[in-house]
Amino acid sequence: MIIKENFEIKNLTTYKIGGVVSKIYFPETQSELTELLREHPDCLVLGNCSDVLFSSNGYNGEIILTTELKQYEIRGTKVFASCGVKGPLLSQKTAEAGLSGLEFMIGFPGTIGGEVYMNAGAHGQTISDVISQCCLFDKKTHEIIYKKKDELEFGYRSSILQNGRYILIHAEFELKKASKEEINSLMDRNLEFRKNVQPSLKNPNAGSVFKNPENDSAGRLLDKAGVKTFELPQAKVWGKHANFIINKGNAASEDILTLMVMMYNAVKKQYTIELKPEIIFIGNKTKKEEELWNILSHESQR
């Protein structure tokens, strides 16, 4: 497998932000992944780095990137996909097979591992709707185990994977037969919606900044709080949807965190609602970044 040391991570992230990482592994098979997890239990496991903000000051630890784990198989209405398979690819391949259930993934930049981790969803569909079971690595016992859907503790943008004990190896889905015309029509509508209200990766971003509060929309609250005008020299809030931050070209992680706190404070002041970050912040934090992240992650959890 490819192993890189002192690797600048920024070009692998959708934000195009991030410093030097001590070591990165790129396993190509599930056996290589599980061997790495046994030998390096403290390794951080990531996919397409689409929902993360890396510190511009780098990361002193080791990272496993799953993007070379691209194996998938379609058997009837069952679909098996390794953690590194990209969501849009699986969406397209299942559509070609006349299978419905993954149309929402067509515009997602992430991998199956990240999407199961976050219980990704859009347009009334979520990944938990169609998962039957997952193959996981148990970091506590170093064993490979299987958990069925009802054991995966799915919630809004959450799953059992977020407790840190389990790493997804592959996921198994149960889809439904449908006409290719219906499937492609739904995918086209999803792509058109995304094109109209969400920035493409030509404008580097990491997707939605904040999670939706219960029975409300983070984008609506942020819009009403007037954050679309918020802008720094190298980063700004997206003008078409208030829950996105754009890297204008040379933003640092501190710029993104500063804007996030400005957005968080605007909603808190107007609605007394404390938004929770959907983006995960990783790396060596400066004192300022620590203060900013504490406002976002600690205060909002109280």
Query: What mean pLDDT is reported for the chain?
Result: 95
97 confidence band (pLDDT: 50, 70, 90) = very high
> What 3-state DSSP class applies to 58?
coil
Cα 194 to Cα 54: distance, rounded to the nearest angstrom: 24
Residue 208 annotated among the catalytic residues of the structure: yes
Q: What digits encode the pLDDT tens for the residues 200-256?
A: 889 999 999 999 999 999 999 999 999 999 999 999 999 999 999 999 999 999 999
138 confidence band (pLDDT: 50, 70, 90) = very high
Query: What residues form DSSP beta bridges with 8?
Result: 20
Q: Return the structure tokens found at 250.
A: 């040379």
- Helix/strand/coil percent split, the chain, to 5: 35, 25, 40
206 contacts: CB under 8 Å, gap ≥ 6: 13, 14, 15, 50, 51, 52, 53, 245, 279
- The answer, yes or no, to whether residue 298 has pLDDT greater than 90, is no
Catalytic residue of the set 153, 231, 274, 278: 278
Q: What digits encode the pLDDT tens for the residues 245-288?
A: 999 999 999 999 999 999 999 999 999 999 999 999 999 999 99
Is 200 in contact with 107 (CB distance < 8 Å)?
no
The residue type of 95 is: A
> What 3-state DSSP class applies to 285?
coil
Cα 83 to Cα 166: distance, rounded to the nearest angstrom: 13
13 contacts: CB under 8 Å, gap ≥ 6: 49, 50, 52, 53, 54, 206
pLDDT computed for residue 302 by the predictor: 40
Is 57 in contact with 285 (CB distance < 8 Å)?
yes
- The answer, yes or no, to whether residue 58 has pLDDT greater than 70, is yes
Residue 38 annotated among the catalytic residues of the structure: no
> What 3-state DSSP class applies to 161?
helix
End-to-end CA distance of the chain: 43
Catalytic residue of the set 50, 56, 91, 157: 157
pLDDT computed for residue 301 by the predictor: 46
Domains in the chain, CATH or no CATH each: 75-131+150-195 (3.30.465.10), 218-301 (3.90.78.10)
196 confidence band (pLDDT: 50, 70, 90) = confident
Q: How many CB atoms lie within 10 A of CB 260?
A: 25
pTM: predicted TM-score of the whole model, two decimal places:
0.92
Q: Scanning the structure block, which residue is given the tokens 């909603």?
A: 267
Q: Return the structure tokens found at 206.
A: 């990491």
124 confidence band (pLDDT: 50, 70, 90) = confident
pLDDT computed for residue 122 by the predictor: 86
Higher pLDDT, 123 or 103: 103
Half-sphere exposure of 26 (CA within 13 A, CB side): 11
- The answer, yes or no, to whether residue 91 has pLDDT greater than 60, is yes
Q: Scanning the structure block, which residue is given the tokens 């790129």?
A: 26
Catalytic residue of the set 103, 208, 253, 254: 208
Cα 147 to Cα 111: distance, rounded to the nearest angstrom: 19
- Please report which helix (H) or strand (E) contains residue 259, including its range: helix 253-271
